[in-house]
């Protein structure tokens, strides 16, 4: 009888233990849930960090690619004048925009135009606007190009009060995979002369005789015509009916007298053209300022008794027989 009671008690105890264990297993464990959430959160944050890192790297790569992308040359002292049309920035001086390059080269523009050698223009432009060579490194001037140009031009530059620019360090330039010099074309005129105007952008105007060299020392009419071509889109925009007259008078001043000096457009013509055309020029050149050569303070006002200038109505009366 006692054995039977002991056995029943043991069975009851076992049943209670089984029920207790089952209840504990069925209840959620908050610590386990927290550990699970932590692991999931860590995985999410890690994935997020990887994605953010990838986005940052992709953005950096895109920005670097944009900086290294070829772009059309817009700087006026180089555009259409150096034998190539596209450049790649930054250059060796860490200029990243053509506006920065223009601000430097505008101080050298007079030296570039003086005509000691066409290679001086190539040297200056390719230093600051190296030729784009596709995916490869941009190509600047060769060391020999620099040294030969310096030998040809230095005396001429000194004659006009210029010194060889410090930035034109020939020994720092490469010997290979670079731009070689061309012929040393120079202006052979030692004084102004009346010449026939045969510039393509001036054929529709009524005057036929101009003066050469012009006020910038340019006498190579092929080079003048090439420089004027960069303004053709501006002329075709029809921003001002006087733009063609103004440009031709700037690049090939009128020969009003065979013994006289250069006769330019009047300042009033310049001001009217600039006011009408400068916004379009900035848009066409991606933000470059109105060119230094076309700054209106260079040209005399019609009220200035010391200088002769030409207004639009005067053009037909100044042709020489």
pLDDT, tens digit, 9 for 90 and up, residues 256-303: 776 657 889 999 999 999 999 999 999 999 999 999 999 999 999 999
The more confidently predicted of residues 235 and 260 is 235
Task: Enumerate residues 6+ apart whose C-beta is below 8 A from 299.
Answer: 264, 265, 266, 267, 269, 270, 309
**Sequence spans of domains, the chain:** 70-172, 193-317
User: Is residue 51 predicted with pLDDT exceeding 80?
Assistant: no
Please tell me if the domain spanning 70-172 has the same topology as the one spanning 193-317.
Answer: yes
DSSP 175-222: SSSSBPP--------SS-EEEE---GGGTTSS--EEEES-TTS---HH
- Give the architecture-level CATH label for domain 70-172: Orthogonal Bundle (1.10)
User: Is residue 243 predicted with pLDDT exceeding 60?
Assistant: yes
Pick the CATH number of 193-317 from 1.20.1090.10, 3.40.190.10, 3.40.50.300, 1.10.2000.10: 1.10.2000.10
d(CA 265, CA 308): 9
Tokens of 151: 């030998």
pLDDT, tens digit, 9 for 90 and up, residues 169-184: 999 999 999 999 887 6
Cα atoms found within 13 Å of the Cα of residue 209, Cβ hemisphere only: 16
Name which of 78, 65, 37 is nearest 227 in CA terms.
78
User: Is residue 248 predicted with pLDDT exceeding 70?
Assistant: yes
Q: What is the mean pLDDT of the chain?
A: 81
pLDDT, tens digit, 9 for 90 and up, residues 189-200: 667 888 888 899
Task: Enumerate residues 6+ apart whose C-beta is below 8 A from 278.
Answer: 290
Beta bridge partners of 131: 87, 139
d(CA 55, CA 49): 10
d(CA 297, CA 72): 30
Give residue 156's pLDDT band: very low, low, confident or very high (50, 70, 90): confident
- Residue labelled with tokens 């006002």: 301
pTM over 0.85, yes/no: no
CA–chain centroid gap for 31, Å, is 63
């Amino acid at each position: 009888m006692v054995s039977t009671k002991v056995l029943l008690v043991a069975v009851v105890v076992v049943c209670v233990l089984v029920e207790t264990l089952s209840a504990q297993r069925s209840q959620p464990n908050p610590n386990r849930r927290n550990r699970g959430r932590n692991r999931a959160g860590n995985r999410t944050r890690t994935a997020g960090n990887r994605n953010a890192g990838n986005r940052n790297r992709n953005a950096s790569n895109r920005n670097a690619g944009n900086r290294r992308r070829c772009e059309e040359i817009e700087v006026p002292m180089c555009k259409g004048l150096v034998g190539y049309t596209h450049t790649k920035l930054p250059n060796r001086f860490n200029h990243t925009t053509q506006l920065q390059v223009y601000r430097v080269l505008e101080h050298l523009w007079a030296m570039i135009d003086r005509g000691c050698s066409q290679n001086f223009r190539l040297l200056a432009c390719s230093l600051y606007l190296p030729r784009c060579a596709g995916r490869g490194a941009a190509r600047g001037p060769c060391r020999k190009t620099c040294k030969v140009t310096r030998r040809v031009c230095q005396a001429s530059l000194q004659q006009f009060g210029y010194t060889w620019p410090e930035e034109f360090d020939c020994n720092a330039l490469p010997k290979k995979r670079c731009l070689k010099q061309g012929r040393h074309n120079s202006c052979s005129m030692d004084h102004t002369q009346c010449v026939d105007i045969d510039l393509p952008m001036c054929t529709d105007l009524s005057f036929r005789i101009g003066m050469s060299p012009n006020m910038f020392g340019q006498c190579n009419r092929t080079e003048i015509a090439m420089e004027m071509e960069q303004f053709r889109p501006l002329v075709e925009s029809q921003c001002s009916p006087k733009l063609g007259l103004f440009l031709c008078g700037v690049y090939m001043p009128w020969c009003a007298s065979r013994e006289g000096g250069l006769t330019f457009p009047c300042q009033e013509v310049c001001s009217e053209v600039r006011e009408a055309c400068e916004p379009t020029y900035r848009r066409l050149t991606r933000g470059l300022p109105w060119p230094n050569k076309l700054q209106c303070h260079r040209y005399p006002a019609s009220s200035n008794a010391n200088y002769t200038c030409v207004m639009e109505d005067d053009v037909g009366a100044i042709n020489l027989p």
